[in-house]
Homo-oligomer: A and B are copies of this chain.
Amino acid sequence: MSYHALSQHFEQLHHLQHLGAICGWDQATMMPSGGNEARAEALGTLAVLCHQQLQDPRLADWFADAEQESSAREHKVSLAEMRRQWRDATLLPADLVRAMSLAGSRCEHAWRSLRPANDWAGYLPLFEEVLNLSRQVASARAETLGLSRYDSLLEQYEPGMRSARLDTLFGGLKSWLPELITQVQNKQRNEPMLQPQGPFAIEQQRALGLEVMTLLGFDFNHGRLDVSAHPFCGGVSEDVRLTTRYNEQDVAQALMGIIHETGHARYEQGLPAQWRRLPVGQARSMGVHESQSLFFEMQLARHPAFIARLTPLLERHFGAQPAFAPDNMARLYTRVSPGLIRVDADEVTYPAHIMLRYEIERDLIEGRMEARDLPERWDQLMQTYLGLSTKGNYKDGCLQDIHWTDGSFGYFPSYTLGSIYASQQAAAMQQQQRSLEQLIDNNLSSVFEWLQQHIWQHASLLETDTLIQQACGQSLDATAFKHHLQQRYLG
């Protein structure tokens, strides 16, 4: 009966989070700006309430009792996931949570104007405050969880992942990625490439986006597509709200963004209905989530067979032009070019951006590096991995990301874990079924069935390693990623 009480309690929490997700989506897509202050207050009250819900004094007893009574495996796993949320909400002193939240808002808010002004000196004291508090958070978590400080933060986004393992993984990448980047650049140097000529009417871009979402199996009975300044996939799994932003001069940007978010969305829509209201029914980790968006964006949408299907759609919406030829579009979509900005990076150079951030945030949290050393270390690693300098250019260097401004240390590795998992999934799928080319030509349904069966339906019922092992025959391993890049970019 305690399991039942816990379920009800967490379902109630889920309902509150549902309201927060929809109102957060509304804030980004629909709300007139004059409504922002009242909305922020309302969402603030909700956050406090959700936190209180997790601090309900009855929970400790219920957990203790439930350990005794429940024996079904799924209930045990469900219980463990509830316990994880409970633990995360209760292990920090309230004062620290409040101080962290305040310092994070202050730093993030200032960053919005300091970054365009390239003002590192103005940013540093605010960032030092955030780092200082983040270290305290990490220490408190580390002590309770029996992990290192950085690992205790990583655990929030990638349960079970450890920095020792990332060191090995990224160490492997570092041994071949820079050389690969150079080879690809040499190969691509003399390839002809036409840029599609705009303007591309936004209404047509939206119509095209909806068509491609349909092709990708998005369920419009349980979701919608809208516009926001920063694209995201929000809402709830019964009603997934994804957003994009359109650029009249660039048809690729919104379309690839939509495809990426559609990958996130299908994972959400594919979570098992009977577990949706409980922690165990949520997506497994940020890395697994990103593996789905990157599977859609990189494995599928940049595949020549998929690009061949896009051309007639592009022509129908915008008229024919030479740049829409599949060969040319494929070259456009796979152009490799080292650059300063992570979010603009191509598939091949992206991991370099992540490894750089990983090394820095790990050392910052473990106390092996100080905030003031950030620009120099950034510049040095950019030189090493991509041969670029960011000296004096803070806004395109260490000030470019929002993540650290509010203390989200430990998140960055998820992006590259996602790339690697996606490659493993694509390799396994092709080994178990047919080539991706054939699967794409065959209307993609086998692709979605495979993902549903191997990833989506398991939600958090399996640990990440087990999930990937069962799906791909091996747990985390960058070999498939390397082969994928070699084949696509040098093959």
Chain B residues near A277: list those with CB within 8 A.
41
Q: Please tell me if the beta carbons of A19 and B42 are within 8 angstroms of each other in the complex.
A: yes
Residues of chain B within 8 A of A224, CB atoms compared: 30, 32
Interface size on A, residues (CB 8 A): 37
For A38, the chain B residues whose CB sits under 8 A away are 18, 236, 238-239, 276
Q: Is A223 an interface residue (CB 8 A)?
A: yes
Complex: chain B residue closest to A238, CB-CB: B38
In the complex, A428→B34 CA distance in Å? 33
Cβ–Cβ < 8 Å partners of A89 in chain B = none
* Nearest neighbor of A20 in chain B, beta-carbon distance: B19
Does A313 touch B at the CB level, under 8 Å? no
Which residues of chain B come closer than 8 Å to A57, judged between CB atoms?
Answer: none
Q: Are B32 and A239 in contact (CB under 8 A)?
A: yes
Q: How far is the CB of A108 from chain B (nearest CB, A)?
A: 22
State in angstroms the CA–CA spacing of A220 and B43 once bound together: 22
Query: In the complex, are the beta carbons of B238 and A45 less than 8 A apart?
Result: no
Complex CA–CA separation, A221 to B20 (angstroms): 22
**Does B236 lie within 8 Å of A32, measured CB to CB?**
no
CB contacts under 8 Å to B, within A38-86, are 38-39, 41-46, 49
Can you show 11 pairs from A to B with CB atoms below 8 A apart?
A15-B44, A15-B46, A16-B42, A18-B39, A22-B39, A30-B30, A32-B239, A34-B221, A35-B222, A35-B238, A38-B276
Instruction: Name A's B-contacting residues (CB within 8 A).
Output: 12, 15-16, 18-20, 22-23, 26, 30-35, 37-39, 41-46, 49, 219-224, 235-236, 238-239, 276-277
Rank and list the top 8 A-B pairs by shortest CB-CB distance, nearest first: A35-B239, A15-B45, A34-B221, A38-B238, A18-B42, A15-B42, A34-B222, A19-B19
